[in-house]
A and B are shown apart, each in its own frame.
Chain A
Amino acid sequence: MKTFDSYRIINIIFAGVIGLVFIYSCLFLPENGSHLIPSFYTDITHQSSPSLGLSRAFSALVRGQFSLANQFNPYALQIFLFFSFQFIYRLISLNVDRIVFVNRKFWIRTDILLSPFLFLLAFYPLVHFTLQTIVKVIGSIFL
């Protein structure tokens, strides 16, 4: 019971956070570019990164403008699908004890295995870029 209570709290908070991400995307029009979160990477390096335009792409995706979203960020759709899946999974997990045919422990273990796997799948270009940049910059400083 103890584990489930923690799990329920975690699900409520993550569903809330993802919900806030969707509300944030709805509040701003994709064309305006007036989103509140800046790209620190671009501000500092004056170069683009794979996460540039993600907020605008999300704003386009919540409005169903898929081609516009693809123009803003080619990786936005897979990341958006990951967030959507997580949002639905969190909502279902809140009522997991009511689902008769699902064992609670099995559900939590599946979540622990599935979520990191899907994260790596959706965020692969960003993870790859992060690791590559770190290696290159450190290499150019020390070698």
Chain B
Amino acid sequence: MEKIKTNAGQGFGVAGLILGILCLFMAFIPCVGVIAIGPGVIAIVLSIVGLVQANNNNGARGINIAALVVSGLGTLIACVWLFVFVGIASLDDEQIEGVVKEVIEEVVRESNSCNTDLQDELNQLEMQLDSLKIDKTIHIQADSTKIEVHIEKK
């Protein structure tokens, strides 16, 4: 005889899924990634409770499993952020600067192919830097302006 499916655990599953998705979103934002641990842990607890209820009362388990997977992934990334911050605390300033600069340069290089405005600005800036000469006089030449600064020793 086929058992009738109930709504058991569905409320917990929905709450877990919503918190889990929010946790996953936050985990991928470096500025606030670490605080995603809070909603992530709550989401895991809710989805486990929902899953247990669904198992005991023949409820639908799909939404609880989805919630558990999403919140687990989000919490894992948030925990790694925490680990990263702890790791960073053990590095000195030069090492931190090196690691962060390297990563940012790589991200900017890859995203520049999609961001033509930024690439144009960078090219323009590079040209302006090339036109900057320093001897006894500093010459700065832009499209419409020419500036000369004379340096004298007293």
A interface list, Cβ under 8 A from B? 2, 6, 9-10, 13-14, 17, 37-42, 44-52, 54, 70, 74-75, 119, 123-130, 132-134, 136-138, 140-141
Contact = CB atoms under 8 A, between A and B. Distances in A.
Task: Return the 7 tightest CB-CB contacts between A and B, nearest first.
Answer: A39-B31, A47-B100, A49-B30, A51-B31, A41-B30, A132-B103, A137-B87
**Chain A's interface: helix, strand, loop or mixed, by majority?**
helix
B90 interface: yes
B90 to A, nearest CB: 7
A133 B10 contact: no
Contacts of B107: 50, 125, 128-129, 132
Contact of B104 (A17, A129, A134): A129
B28 A123 contact: yes
A17 B148 CA distance: 55
A70 B24 CA distance: 25
A52 B63 CA distance: 34
A45 B96 contact: yes
14 contacts: A17-B22, A38-B31, A40-B32, A40-B34, A47-B100, A47-B104, A50-B30, A54-B29, A74-B111, A125-B107, A130-B30, A132-B106, A133-B84, A136-B102
A48 B97 CA distance: 10
Nearest to B59: A2
Contacts of B103: 129, 132-133, 136
B99 interface: yes
Contact of B88 (A44, A50, A51): A44
Interface stretch (B13-21, B127-135, B137-145): B13-21
Given A41-B31, A42-B31, A126-B30, A134 B96 contact: no
Contact of A2 (B7, B96, B102): B7
Nearest to A17: B22
